[in-house]
């Protein structure tokens, strides 16, 4: 009887255990199903419309996933908060039309602010190893004024994701008293959520790009300061080559290789190679010069750093201590323009060096300058800045700058007494640093720059206003035209002096009497020029006297055995109806 009772109890115990196990199993399955459904249902409730900036994760076939870590959970929460705030800024804050920004801001708003950019650099850039512990730290300084929202956000996201965190101390954004509401409290909150290393300095009044850069540099704590424009996007591996080069030399300023971000598609080609050096025109325009062939003799590859006479200005990296030792940017320069010339001349002429580092690639939206210049107009301020730079650094060569600018704007800007005093202080700083002459700079650094004669009235490339092709000289000394213009090189530099001589590399442009094709010949003397062939440039026509009337230079296809079918320059009867008969010189003095 006792054994039967025990068996009965055992059966009851087994039945109870089976019941408990089934209950627990059902509970686990139910909770698992709810946990899979819950987050996605909740997220879809909030995101009724497609979010192109932070896309929802794609659903996949049922797969067991590991539990999320706390860091992953908080990152997901941060991304969701940033996406929501971005949508709010785009929907609730008005912005100007695309024309105001000078590029397709609408297309930019359709592209993720955290987009991936293909790394098209060669393996010699990608496979380099850096000892991060020995590289200097860096601070980014980016001023902005009424900038388009998504390029500015993309600018910051790119810096954070493509700069080694152990090297990046901070991103300092200097708001130069912007007036657009989306750049206010919501932007401040966005960056507060994004990263604690981002700081915004708010100017209470307009100071301009130059003083805003200086203000940001004053507060920078990194060993190296990088000045960037707000509509730039750094590419993979951009920082390390710059910092390594700065580490190697105490007195150097370096710049990244700037590649264009297409102003319509907002796309960029990171495989574009650096083939130019920076220079200047005699009207103080920034001009690209073809990379001199002799530089390649000292470089192992196309991706090694090379010296450049003038900084492009949008991505400048310099050790903070050296920047202060050379006198920083000239604080007497107003709003925008000229600071890249000032720093370039300063560094080279006082014993430093400037280089372009091709392995450092940075995208840049080249757009129309919509920067507000306050009470003065844009042209006046830029001309005044460039005159100030030339007064300080260019010695007797300021003659050409003044002569070129006076034909664009007359009268030229005038300095106040206070401005003249500050100008003299910068000259004194130049003397204290034992600066070399500007003649030395042209002879030793910017050797590609062609120097006009004081007798020249017109100088530089001669461009056809219809075809936009410019003159060049064939090996047999006939004058033809080419589409490769707007690059100052000796082979395409002509001048017309006050004696009427059209000169080319020490010789003169004449014509062949049988074909009237232009050809290089020996120049007549100054006294002979009155009785020999003389040229006149007026109303965009380049003409010379032939018997009792003028004949004009025109771009024409050769029907002669000489360069048959190619564009040559020929003299024909002057006719205002002939569109290919108008020409402009690059500079007028």
> Which of 113-117, 272-276, 293-297, 569-573 is the least confident region?
293-297
- Write out the two tokens for 202: 């708010």
> Which of 41-55, 59-73, 281-295, 479-493 is the least confident region?
41-55
**pLDDT tens, position by position, 231-260:** 999 999 999 999 999 999 989 999 999 999
> Which of 48-62, 96-110, 461-475 is the least confident region?
48-62
Which CATH number do you get for residue 497? Answer: 2.80.10.50
The pLDDT confidence band at residue 6, using thresholds 50, 70 and 90, is low
Mean predicted lDDT score pLDDT of the chain: 88
- With CA atoms as reference, report the closest residue to 213 among 103, 336, 396: 336
When divided into structural domains, the chain yields a total of: 3
- Are 436 and 534 contained in the same domain? no
- Are 210 and 160 contained in the same domain? yes
- With CA atoms as reference, report the closest residue to 174 among 206, 148, 150: 206
- Are 548 and 503 contained in the same domain? yes
Residue 13 pLDDT > 70:
no
Residue 96 covered by a domain: no
**pLDDT tens, position by position, 374-404:** 666 888 999 999 999 999 999 999 999 999 9
Residue 555 pLDDT > 70:
yes
- Write out the two tokens for 228: 């960037």
Residue 526 pLDDT > 80:
no
pLDDT of residue 120: 87
272 and 363 in contact (C-beta within 8 Å)? Answer: no
Q: What is the rounded distance in angstroms from the CA atom of residue 153 to the CA atom of residue 148?
A: 9
What is the reported pTM?
A: 0.83
pLDDT of residue 3: 54
Q: What is the DSSP secondary-structure string of 364-407?
A: E---------TTS-HHHHHHHHHHHHHHHH-GGGHHHHHHHHHT
**pLDDT tens, position by position, 156-171:** 999 999 999 999 999 9
pLDDT of residue 371: 62
- Write out the two tokens for 103: 């590029």
Q: What is the DSSP secondary-structure string of 151-206?
A: HHHHHHHHHHHHS-TTTEEEEEEEE-S---GGGSHHHHHHHHHH-TTEEEEE-SS-
SS3 413: coil
- Are 300 and 194 contained in the same domain? yes
**Mean pLDDT across 309-315:** 96
- Are 436 and 489 contained in the same domain? no
Residue 316 covered by a domain: yes
pLDDT of residue 548: 83
Q: In which residue are the tokens 């750093």 written?
A: 305
Q: In which residue are the tokens 């540099």 written?
A: 217
Count CB neighbours of 301 within 10 A: 11
pLDDT of residue 48: 34
The pLDDT confidence band at residue 411, using thresholds 50, 70 and 90, is very high
Residue 90 covered by a domain: no
- Are 411 and 475 contained in the same domain? no
- Are 337 and 424 contained in the same domain? no
pLDDT of residue 375: 61
> Which of 44-53, 92-101, 308-317, 539-548 is the least confident region?
44-53
Q: What is the DSSP letter of 439?
A: H
- Are 263 and 383 contained in the same domain? no
pLDDT of residue 25: 54
Which range is most confident: 217-226, 274-283, 408-417? 217-226
Count CB neighbours of 509 within 10 A: 26
**Mean pLDDT across 272-297:** 90
Q: What is the rounded distance in angstroms from the CA atom of residue 277 to the CA atom of residue 510?
A: 33
The pLDDT confidence band at residue 553, using thresholds 50, 70 and 90, is very high
What is the span of the domain harbouring residue 347? 105-364
Residue 59 covered by a domain: no
N-terminal to C-terminal alpha carbon distance within the chain: 128
344 and 399 in contact (C-beta within 8 Å)? Answer: no
Residue 24 pLDDT > 80:
no
Q: In which residue are the tokens 């657009």 written?
A: 180
Count CB neighbours of 185 within 10 A: 9
Q: In which residue are the tokens 């785009």 written?
A: 90
Q: What is the rounded distance in angstroms from the CA atom of residue 574 to the CA atom of residue 563?
A: 24
Q: What is the rounded distance in angstroms from the CA atom of residue 28 to the CA atom of residue 37?
A: 14
> Which of 280-294, 330-344, 456-470 is the least confident region?
280-294
- Long-range contacts (CB closer than 8 Å, 24 or more residues apart) made by 126-129: 126/237, 128/240, 128/241, 128/359
Q: What is the rounded distance in angstroms from the CA atom of residue 402 to the CA atom of residue 570?
A: 34
Alpha helix ranges (H) inside 378-511 = 378-393, 398-406, 417-432, 438-444
- Are 203 and 329 contained in the same domain? yes
Residue 46 covered by a domain: no
- Are 479 and 383 contained in the same domain? no
Q: What is the rounded distance in angstroms from the CA atom of residue 187 to the CA atom of residue 178?
A: 12
140 and 172 in contact (C-beta within 8 Å)? Answer: yes
Residue 44 covered by a domain: no
Q: What is the rounded distance in angstroms from the CA atom of residue 573 to the CA atom of residue 127?
A: 62
- Are 410 and 351 contained in the same domain? no
Q: How many residues does the chain have?
A: 589
Which CATH number do you get for residue 329? Answer: 3.90.550.10
- Pick the more confident residue, 5 or 162: 162
- Are 309 and 440 contained in the same domain? no
Residue 384 covered by a domain: yes
Compute CA distances 86 → 92, 152, 160, 190, 579, whole Å: 10, 12, 18, 8, 52
Q: What is the rounded distance in angstroms from the CA atom of residue 146 to the CA atom of residue 230?
A: 10
Residue 450 covered by a domain: no
The pLDDT confidence band at residue 528, using thresholds 50, 70 and 90, is low
Residue 21 pLDDT > 80:
no
Furthest-apart CA atoms within the chain: distance in Å: 148
């Amino acid at each position: 009887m006792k054994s039967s009772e025990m068996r009965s109890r055992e059966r009851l115990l087994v039945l109870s255990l089976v019941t408990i196990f089934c209950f627990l199993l059902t509970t686990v399955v139910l909770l698992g199903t709810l946990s899979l459904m819950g987050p996605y249902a909740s997220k879809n409730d909030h995101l009724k419309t497609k979010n192109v900036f932070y896309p929802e994760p794609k659903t996949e076939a049922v797969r067991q996933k590991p539990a999320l870590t706390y860091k992953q959970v908080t990152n997901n929460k941060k991304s969701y908060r940033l996406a929501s705030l971005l949508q709010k800024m785009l929907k609730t804050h008005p912005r100007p039309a695309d024309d105001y920004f000078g590029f397709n801001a609408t297309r930019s708003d359709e592209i993720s602010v955290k987009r991936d950019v293909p790394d098209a650099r060669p393996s010699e850039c990608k496979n380099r190893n850096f000892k991060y512990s020995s590289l200097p730290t860096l601070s980014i300084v980016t001023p902005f004024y009424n900038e388009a929202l998504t390029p500015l956000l993309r600018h910051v996201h790119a810096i954070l994701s493509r700069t080694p965190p152990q090297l990046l101390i901070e991103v300092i954004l200097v708001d130069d008293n912007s007036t657009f509401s989306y750049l206010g409290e919501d932007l401040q909150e966005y960056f507060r959520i994004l990263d604690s290393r981002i700081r915004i300095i708010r100017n209470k009044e307009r100071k301009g790009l130059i003083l805003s850069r200086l203000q940001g540099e004053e507060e920078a704590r990194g060993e190296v300061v990088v000045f960037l424009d707000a509509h730039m996007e750094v590419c993979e591996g951009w920082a390390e080559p710059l910092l390594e080069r700065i580490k190697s030399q105490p007195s150097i300023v370096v710049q990244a290789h700037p590649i264009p971000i297409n102003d319509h598609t907002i796309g960029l080609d990171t495989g574009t190679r650096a083939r130019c050096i920076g220079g200047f025109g005699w009207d103080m325009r920034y001009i690209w010069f073809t990379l001199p062939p002799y530089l390649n003799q000292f470089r192992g590859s196309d991706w090694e750093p090379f010296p450049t006479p003038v900084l492009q200005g949008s991505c400048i990296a310099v050790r903070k201590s050296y920047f202060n030792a050379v006198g920083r940017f000239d604080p007497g320069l107003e709003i925008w323009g000229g600071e890249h010339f000032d720093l370039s001349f300063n560094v080279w002429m006082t014993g430093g060096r400037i280089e372009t580092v091709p392995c450092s690639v940075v995208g840049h939206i080249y757009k129309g300058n919509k920067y507000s210049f306050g009470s003065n107009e844009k042209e006046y301020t830029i001309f005044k800045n460039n005159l100030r730079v030339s007064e300080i650094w260019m010695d007797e060569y300021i003659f050409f700058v003044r002569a070129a600018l006076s034909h664009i704007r007359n009268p030229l800007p005038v300095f106040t007494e206070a401005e003249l005093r500050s100008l003299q202080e910068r000259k004194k700083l130049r003397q204290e640093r034992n600066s070399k002459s500007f003649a030395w700079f042209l002879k030793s650094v910017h050797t590609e720059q062609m120097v006009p004669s004081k007798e020249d009235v017109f100088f530089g490339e001669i461009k056809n206003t219809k075809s936009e092709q410019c003159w060049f000289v064939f090996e047999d000394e006939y004058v033809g035209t080419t589409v490769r213009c707007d690059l100052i090189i000796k082979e395409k530099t002509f001048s017309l002096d006050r004696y009427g001589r059209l000169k080319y590399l020490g010789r003169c442009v004449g014509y062949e009497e049988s074909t009237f094709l232009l050809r290089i010949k020996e120049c007549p003397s100054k006294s002979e020029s009155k009785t020999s062939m003389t040229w006149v440039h007026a109303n965009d026509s380049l003409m010379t006297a032939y018997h009792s009337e003028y004949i004009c230079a025109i771009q024409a296809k050769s029907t002669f055995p000489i360069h048959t079918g190619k564009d040559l320059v020929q003299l024909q009867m002057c006719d205002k109806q002939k569109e290919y008969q108008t020409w402009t010189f690059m500079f007028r003095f």
